[in-house]
Structure 1
Amino acid sequence: MKQKYQEFIIRDWQKGDRMAAAEVIRTVLEEYGLPWQPELADRDVIEIESAYLETGGEFWVVEKNSTIVGTAAYQPISRGQNAVEIRKMYLLPEIRGKGLGKYLLQELEKAIAVKDYQEIWLETASILKEAVVLYERSGYQPVNDVETERCDLAYLKKIHP
């Protein structure tokens, strides 16, 4: 996958992206006072091949001027009905407010729908207010099923009835 949105390139993750993608995620988490947990909740960022690519998921990076400034991913999960979870959707502060988050979410949903999944789950922290607004405006319904320690909100969207 490779596409353009405004001045950004969104493309599939490559091995050489590992540390830059991890740094984007660590930076955003720390900006909001959330812990970077490479041994726990963020282990999938270090092990993208086994966590995403080998399980039928996808991991994308967002570039501006050949620098990684954002990430977005999904992976199949066992909870729910034929479900995936959107994970690691992070954008550096300087590129927010341009509609990129909404665009990424819509593109993830399209990629997921093509594979005939029925449900999209995601978890977030209420301190990530912009993300919460985006998910709720995009039709995600709150559920009481948080599995990640640093998260306090979970959402579900059914895409194929």
Structure 2
Amino acid sequence: MSTPIIRPIEKKDNQEIAEVIRTVLIEHGVPKVGTAYADKALDCMYETYDKERAIYMVVEEDGRLIGGAGIAQLDNYDGNVCELQKMYYLAEARGRGIGSQMMQQCLEKAKKFGFEKCYLETMPYMKAAQKLYERVGFSYIDGPMGDTGHFSCPVHMLKDL
């Protein structure tokens, strides 16, 4: 196994990263409605993040994608808050520190883009992910911010940047 490479998404990655994300969501039994599974953006991730103050990073290992995560303005929210979006990794990528590295890169980008806070939504049973979020300074909040359309994601967290 070679060393994983974290890099910005390219247009050629669209289909592969959509498959990675859907594979992880199905593995975790995430509802297909009201979660990232139903997002139109999944099939055009490069185009979705090809805008100001947004980036999606992928993790490539041995010529294939094993995960990714992104930062963008929180949808339907007026404040200077970004959202950590679509952070998913195949089973082979987990427990290797890749998520921590990706999280640091995303949060650095968010600061560089000038955001004041970073928000995220997740599922209650995604405990390993929540531990990672807490380790880097995210705290639980009582309800959703903005309107991401992810009404099936009941866990909300926020971090000052």
Q: Same fold (TM over 0.5)?
A: yes
User: 1:26–1:36: 8 Å Cα contact kept in structure 2?
Assistant: no
Shift of residue 36, structure 1, vs aligned partner: 4.2
Structure 2 SS opposite 1:54: coil
Uncovered stretches (5+) of structure 1, i.e. residues with no partner: 1-5
User: 1:84–1:119: 8 Å Cα contact kept in structure 2?
Assistant: yes
- The letter for the 1-side match of 2:134 is E
CA distance in 2, matches of 1:49, 1:28: 19
Structure 1 SS opposite 2:51: helix
For 1:44, which of 41, 54, 63 is the aligned residue?
Answer: 41
- TM-score, normalised with respect to structure 2: 0.86
Q: Does 1:72 pair with 2:69?
A: yes
CA distance in 2, matches of 1:134, 1:39: 20
> Percent same amino acid among aligned pairs?
32
- 1:87 maps to which residue? 85
User: 1:80–1:119: 8 Å Cα contact kept in structure 2?
Assistant: no
- The letter for the 2-side match of 1:42 is D
How many aligned positions are there? 154
In structure 2, the CA distance between the partners of 1:83 and 1:8, relative to structure 1 (3 Å rule), is same
Shift of residue 39, structure 1, vs aligned partner: 8.9
- 1:153 maps to which residue? 155
Uncovered stretches (5+) of structure 2, i.e. residues with no partner: none
Shift of residue 50, structure 1, vs aligned partner: 4.9
Q: Does 1:33 pair with 2:29?
A: yes
Computed over aligned residues only, the root mean square deviation of the Cα atoms, in angstroms, reads 2.1
Higher relative contact order (CA 8 A, sep 6+): 2
Give CA deviations for 1:51-107 in whole Å, capped at 9, x if unaligned.
322243101111000101101101112426311100011110011111111111111
